[in-house]
Amino acid sequence: MIRFCDVFFSLLGLIVLSPIFVIIALCIVLDSRGGVFYRQVRVGRDGKDFRLFKFRSMASGADKKGLITVGAKDARVTRVGYFLRKYKLDELPQLLNVVRGEMSLVGPRPEVRKYVDMYTVEQRKVLAVVPGITDYASIEYADENTILGQASDPDRAYVEQIMPDKIRYNMKYIDNRCLKEYFKIIFLTLMKIVK
């Protein structure tokens, strides 16, 4: 039933939001050089790699200077990118990943290989489910970039503090995965964005 909801709501979202996609694409093109979309290799279910879609919010080639974004201090983020990130609009193209079956609307956020390779055996349990666009960790760490921007060593802060905590939140959904939790997380995410 969750897969049916994923496909139905993602297709509906892509249709309804298509005018907004066009406006965002134009803003990105007018703001900075590079493509409209950014595709990054992430680790999905059973540890398999897939390409995650996002609207490009950083200067082209910015990921070569580091995988972690550090909030308002990060000069790699474009002017339009700051706005897209603030309201999570850069995440909208992931609806395509959901339709393709690589992601769900709800589930643990897919991580890059560098950090997955650091997982303990216990932490690797998050790879047993399809990753998602949002979950409890996404809600609790909506300001993750700001937190990392205040850290003296953002990479270390992510690995030692944020990543383990996010995995604990991931397990909260995984251990109670059902349609009720699915819709609860979607509702909480929308409320967080509105606030």
Q: Tell me if residue 32 falls in helix, strand or coil.
A: coil
Block residue for tokens 């309804």: 16
- State the Cα–Cα distance between residues 77 and 70, nearest whole angstrom: 10
Model confidence, pTM: 0.89
Give 60's contacts (C-beta < 8 A, 6+ positions apart): 32, 33, 34, 35
**At residue 104, what are phi and psi to the nearest 5 degrees?**
-120, 165
Q: How many CB atoms lie within 10 A of CB 109?
A: 21
End-to-end CA separation in angstroms for the chain: 30
pLDDT tens over the chain, length 195 residues: 999 999 999 999 999 999 999 999 999 999 999 999 999 999 999 999 999 999 999 887 766 665 566 555 678 889 999 899 888 899 999 999 999 999 999 999 999 999 999 999 999 999 999 999 999 999 999 888 778 878 888 889 999 999 999 999 999 999 999 999 999 999 999 998 887
